[in-house]
Structure 1
Amino acid sequence: MPSMSLEAIVSMLDDAQQVVVFSGAGLSADSGIPTFRDGATGLWNNVDPDEVASIDGFLRNPRRVWNWLLQLKNLVDDRRPNAGHQAIARLEAICAAKQVTVITQNIDGYHARAGNEHVLEVHGTIHHVRCHRRCGFADSWDHRAEEPYPCPACGAPVRPDLVMFGEALEEEVFAAAEARSVSADIFFCVGTSLTVQPAVRLPMWAKSAGAVLVEVNPHPTPLSPTADYSIRSGASQFFAALCGEVESRPLQTGKRDDRAIA
């Protein structure tokens, strides 16, 4: 990556108080988690997404969707955060005087496992289940539960606590993501194709509100023409270099905005 771009980004990071990292499936691909949009590989091979990962599919055949998502959960549990996740967590630790928020489309929980404290999972998580009617019941997903079971509170089906195809995002979580985006001073987009609505709006809302928009992706995306910096790099390479540069010239220790993620 051009050293001048890296130096400029570090300089702007130095002045920033609100930092957002927005991540997509490409970040977890290096952990061995197959991505739907990269073609029919791994778990996505020879399956119809509408049958195994959509809300309509769940309503038609809850057990089939449960079993397929359980395979995905077992894969996620078997793998681990990669160097990109670790470098993003390292950035948060270095920028302790700033508010660093990760907004992710991924459901694997790897950002938290890597050490990030402020993570908004706009598509939910593979690690928990909840009542389909939203009566209030929620629990960890026990891998021994091999099929949907009745909610112990109301009897409705229990389902994975993630956003399936055809469902709206959780309003409270997305509202928090929007609030963090529009208050960001610098907004990083990492490993996302920027084709999934409505999350794709977040970087544009950030830029419209005055944030410096930095795209980190080995390939061009729809965001590339409007990003302030479009870095053709993997996440691990870029954030490791960014952290190294930051550590070589400590950031300003301005007062951190400790407002809670709402």
Structure 2
Amino acid sequence: MNLEAARAALRDARRVAVLTGAGVSAESGIPTFRDAQTGHWARFRPEDLASPDAYRQDPDTVWEWYAGRYRDVLRAEPNGAHYLLAQLEGLKGNGFLLATQNVDGLHARAGSQRLVELHGNLLSARDEITGEVFALPDPDVLETPPVSPNGHRMRPNIVWFGEFLPEDALATASEAFASADVALVVGTSGVVYPAAGLALETLRQGGVVIEINPEETELTPLLSFSVRDVASRGLAALLGQAAS
């Protein structure tokens, strides 16, 4: 498959499923989880900041880390890739679903609505007793650990190491990829499962899978076509538009 054939497949598809990863947010200046571990945080292992055990042992330190990331994502702005995916949703309507591994909320801010966040969202927190999710207050008034309207301590609304993805979100994504005519895999390394396996569901059902990534990934040899570029320019190329 060449670029023209990939464009035609996407244009003609009635059902489109998209998986996005850190490469999409990188263009908005948001570092990956490990890249964000600089300065004071460089001495911590990922498991020291993002696991149930770490939180049980030191919720104050975990919340200090997540409060900093929360401030960072609020300062960031959606980029061209976020807006192009929202535009693609408008074209495909109910036949579209975007599943993201990102936790920064930028897809929603760009206008995406048919969206599932597989790894949670930094802009919210979860009541430890009831499981209810609440938006975090402005960073200037955020006190950590935050307390829910129910009076209970809240934890970051993030899927940590050793935790399962939300069942409803994963089921919705799996159904969309299994029924997709075309799936896009944008800015993700393809090594974190079960999200990385979603594209394989499309292939098993005879669909086309197009990857957008500046580097080859473990999924590349299995897929229908790859665009070797960053997310914004790759999506613009697929949609036949000039990159913004």
TM-score, with normalisation over the residues of structure 2? 0.90
Which residue of the partner structure matches residue 133 of structure 2? 138
- 1:105 equivalent in alignment to 2:101: yes
Q: Distance in 2 between matches of 1:43 and 1:109?
A: 25
- Cα distance in 2 for partners of 1:140, 1:58 equals 20
2:211 counterpart residue number? 215
Using the TM superposition, give the Cα deviation of residue 152 of structure 1 relative to its aligned residue in structure 2, in angstroms.
4.8
Shift of 1:96: 4.1
Distance 1:37 1:8 in 2: 37
Matched positions, count: 240
**Pick from 141, 155, 158: which aligns with 2:154?**
158
Distance 1:230 1:84 in 2: 16
CA deviation map 1:218-251 (0-9, x unaligned): 0010001001102211111111122236xxxxxx
The residue type equivalent to 1:139 in the other structure is: F
2:49 pairs with 1:52: yes
SS at match of 1:36: coil
Q: Which residue of 1 aligns with 2:61?
A: 64
Q: Please say if 1:230 is aligned against 2:230.
A: no
The one-letter code sitting in structure 2 at the alignment partner of 1:46 is R
Deviation, 1:207, is 1.1
Match of 1:86 in 2: 83
**Cα gap change, 1:14 to 1:100, in 2 (>3 Å):** same
State yes or no: 1:35 paired with 2:32: yes
Runs of 4+ in 1 over 4 A off after TM superposition: 37-44, 149-152
Q: Hey, what's the Cα distance between the residues in 2 that align with 1:225 and 1:36? A: 26
C-alpha distance in 1, partners of 2:116/2:173? 7
Structure 2: stretches of 5+ with no match in the other structure? none
| CA deviation vs aligned residue, 1:68-102 (integer Å, no higher than 9, x gap) | 00100100000111122122222223x24562211
In structure 2, give the amino acid aligned to 1:193.
S
Distance in 1, Cα, partners of 2:80 & 2:44? 30
Partner of 1:253: none
More displaced 10-residue stretch of structure 1: 108-117 or 37-46: 37-46
Distance 1:174 1:165 in 2: 16
Structure 1 stretches of 5 or more lacking a match?
Answer: 246-262
- CA 1:236–1:151: 2 relative to 1, 3 Å: closer
Structure 2 CA distance for partners of 1:8 and 1:98, relative to 1, 3 Å: farther
What is the distance in 2 between the residues matched to 1:146 and 1:163?
Answer: 21
Q: Please point out which of 154, 174, 177 is paired with 2:173.
A: 177
TM-score for both structures, normalised by structure 1: 0.84
Quick check: 2:34–2:46 contact (8 Å CA) kept in 1?
A: no
Q: In structure 1, the residue corresponding to 2:220 is in which secondary structure?
A: coil
CA distance in 1, matches of 2:92, 2:39: 38
Check whether the contact 1:17–1:98 (CA below 8 A) recurs between aligned residues.
Answer: no
SS of the aligned residue for 2:195 comes to coil
CA distance in 2, matches of 1:227, 1:21: 14
Deviation, 1:41, is 5.1
